[in-house]
Structure 1
């Protein structure tokens, strides 16, 4: 649901580290910067300082800042959508998978500002394209789950879209108005009630 899965770690390293940094290290650091300050925060020198390295490491992996942004967005798509779908595919029951997905995605996005930061920078064409791809994939996957639960194709698509908008609303509200959503055991009951509503059949 970006779904927001495994949170991409901020692999900052102390100055003087000798481990050779990878392109993924740079992409993860760029995602962390986006979560903290939006797309404008993706700047080579500050990220190099975050990683405890120099600009030379950056240019070993990327031709320019735009290439780093593209790599960061690709990593976000893979780690916050595809990896989550793959991980939960081991659950054979579509309702249990849907409930697990919703609980995991809402908890992950509440802890990580990245999703909200990307939505706030949707005017950038590259971010807009990534958001479109991720939205299509997430809504399509949700529709597949509702179809597996017996809903006709058009209704499954409608409920998948409704589930995704519920997730986005939950994500936005958890960051805009902290404490406004139920916490602890109350959170589990609240999420169950949301899914009960989405799964209800007349």
Structure 2
């Protein structure tokens, strides 16, 4: 039976899944090779070492979950609709459950820190621009952006750590849908 050739993206996705499960320490070349049904040689074909994999995985997360999303939203002219689409996407179904809180939890790790800083700066700048487009002056727009981003991070952390006692943050169900709609309405007001 022929083996499938793994790409750097395959390894990076596996690294992000491992990180979501157990943090940076869970990103182990041996464990990932076993999970992917590959050899360590396959890993070293693509990456010099584990740190190179961590960097590639985090940069892929940055591209897919920040740059690409911002680019997709650029087609929506109305800022309120853009904000609503952003919240619906960002707080909807997660591609890798618990990934964002796991990344934030390792903000001081040398591989995580620079990527997380870029992502945070870009997201806050984007949110500030959206709130400015909604009519807020620069300082209130920035405050609303920070509040919104804190709500986003808190929502995902509650989903990861306490979904059983806070069903409102789940990704499915009537209670979750109503809670998400309420949050989007509140955050889109942009006071």
TM-score, normalised relative to structure 1: 0.84
Can you list the C-alpha shifts for 1:59-109, whole angstroms capped at 9, x where unaligned?
A: 111111111111111111111111111222222211011112112211234
1:168-187 → structure 2 map (5 Å cutoff): 168-179=153-164, 180-182=166-168, 184-187=173-176
Residue 138 of structure 1 corresponds to 123
Gaps of 5+ in 1: 1-15
Is 2:13–2:57's contact at 8 Å kept on the other side of the alignment?
yes
Q: Secondary structure at the match of 1:125?
A: coil
| Pairwise CA distance, 1:118 | 1.1
| Pairwise CA distance, 1:146 | 0.8
Q: Secondary structure at the match of 2:91?
A: helix
Runs of 4+ deviating beyond 3 Å: 108-111, 185-189, 195-202
**d(CA) in 2 for partners of 1:201 and 1:134?**
22
Rate the CA distance shift 1:27–1:85 in 2: closer, same or farther, 3 A: same
| Pairwise CA distance, 1:159 | 0.8
**d(CA) in 2 for partners of 1:61 and 1:111?**
23
Residue 16 of structure 2 corresponds to 31
**d(CA) in 1 for partners of 2:96 and 2:163?**
11
Q: 2:147 aligned to 138, 143, 162, which one?
A: 162
Residue 191 of structure 1 corresponds to 180
Q: Does residue 1:113 correspond to 2:113, yes or no? A: no
Can you list the C-alpha shifts for 1:3-37, whole angstroms capped at 9, x where unaligned?
A: xxxxxxxxxxxxx5522211111111111111111
Rate the CA distance shift 1:199–1:42 in 2: closer, same or farther, 3 A: closer
RMSD: 2.0
Q: 1:88 aligned to 60, 73, 95, which one?
A: 73
TM-score, normalised relative to structure 2: 0.88
Gaps of 5+ in 2: none
**d(CA) in 2 for partners of 1:26 and 1:196?**
38
**d(CA) in 2 for partners of 1:150 and 1:117?**
34
Can you list the C-alpha shifts for 1:113-152, whole angstroms capped at 9, x where unaligned?
A: 1111112222312212221111111111111111111111
